[in-house]
Amino acid sequence: AQKVTQAQTEISVVEKEDVTLDCVYETRDTTYYLFWYKQPPSGELVFLIRRNSFDEQNEISGRYSWNFQKSTSSFNFTITASQVVDSAVYFCALSSETTGGFKTIFGAGTRLFVKA
Amino acid sequence: AAGVIQSPRHLIKEKRETATLKCYPIPRHDTVYWYQQGPGQDPQFLISFYEKMQSDKGSIPDRFSAQQFSDYHSELNMSSLELGDSALYFCASSPMGQGIDESGSTGELFFGEGSRLTVL
């Protein structure tokens, strides 16, 4: 069975602080994909990053960075020097290919509050 | 670039009424997914279609039905609406590729902006 766990329900930080959002996943598939999505108050799901199971290289994109570790089944997301505009719910998701499509499940989400 | 289009963006219905949500996938995407996100919840998978055939089914109530048409757009029909059906409904599309190393397959679902259904 597949599962995504985001243990942090809510995180509150002050602007300019660094913050790490944790994501732990479970899957028996050898080929899978991991994602992070941002959901601002307006409601849309904004794609942030995709990683496939064969690519453990960490990635940095501006103030965002991701740490993928298969050994611990974790795909953590760090925001450096957080800003008020980073306030949103962040979802980690796991996707694997099935017959006729992808099966994607989401974690429960972490609500990030960045205070000025 | 064209994105997934959902309509209507907002819908208000009374209990026991019927609602229909529409989804237009990204051109050349042959797979469509429907997700339901209740207040404070994560998106829950409802149903998916590949090449106009139902490919997977999640926690979709029997009161709901969906289909994918010849032009690949999809419609989610919800009948006998209940208060608990109030949610944000996302449609997503993806291209089916050959595997992890093929350009068409990234595992990514491309989401629409969602349709917010309020049942009074």
CA-closest candidate to residue A47, choices B57, B106, B100: B106
Chains A & B: contacts with CB separation below 8 Å: 79
Classify A39 in phi/psi space as left (phi over 0), alpha (psi -120 to 50) or beta.
beta
Which B-chain residues 78-107 have CB contacts (< 8 A) with chain A?
88, 90, 92, 94, 96, 99-100, 105-107
B119/B82 Cα distance (integer angstroms) = 7
Classify B83 in phi/psi space as left (phi over 0), alpha (psi -120 to 50) or beta.
alpha
Residues of A within 8 A of B116 (CB-CB) are 43
The amino acid present at A108, given as its one-letter code, is A
DSSP state string for chain B: ----EEE-SEEEE-TT--EEEEEEPPTT--EEEEEEE-TT---EEEEEEETTEEEEE-S--TTEEEEE-TTS-EEEEE-S--GGG-EEEEEEEE---SSTTSTT-----EE---EEEEE-
pLDDT of residue B103: 40
CB contact under 8 A, B107 and A91: no
- Give CA torsion, residues B75, B2, B99, A55, to 10 deg: -120
Return the minimum-mean-pLDDT range out of A55-69, A83-97, B86-100: B86-100
B110/A12 Cα distance (integer angstroms) = 29
Q: DSSP 3-state assignment of A45? A: coil
Residues of A within 8 A of B6 (CB-CB) are none
The amino acid present at B42, given as its one-letter code, is D
Residues of A within 8 A of B30 (CB-CB) are none
Are the beta carbons of A49 and A62 closer than 8 angstroms? no
| B60-104 confidence digits (pLDDT tens) | 999 999 999 999 999 999 999 999 999 999 999 987 643 443 444
| A21-48 confidence digits (pLDDT tens) | 999 999 988 889 999 999 999 899 998 9
CB contact under 8 A, B106 and A109: no
Percent of chain A having pLDDT more than 70?
A: 97
Percent of chain A having pLDDT more than 90?
A: 69
Chain A contacts to B (CB-CB under 8 A) = 31-33, 35, 37, 43-45, 47, 50, 52-54, 91, 95-109
CB contact under 8 A, A102 and B109: yes
Under the banding of pLDDT at 50, 70 and 90, the label for residue B106 is: low
Strands (E), A1-116: 3-5, 10-14, 19-21, 24-26, 33-39, 46-52, 59-61, 64-69, 74-79, 88-98, 101-106, 110-115
CB contact under 8 A, A52 and B88: no
| B15-32 confidence digits (pLDDT tens) | 999 999 999 999 988 889
CB contact under 8 A, B109 and A43: no
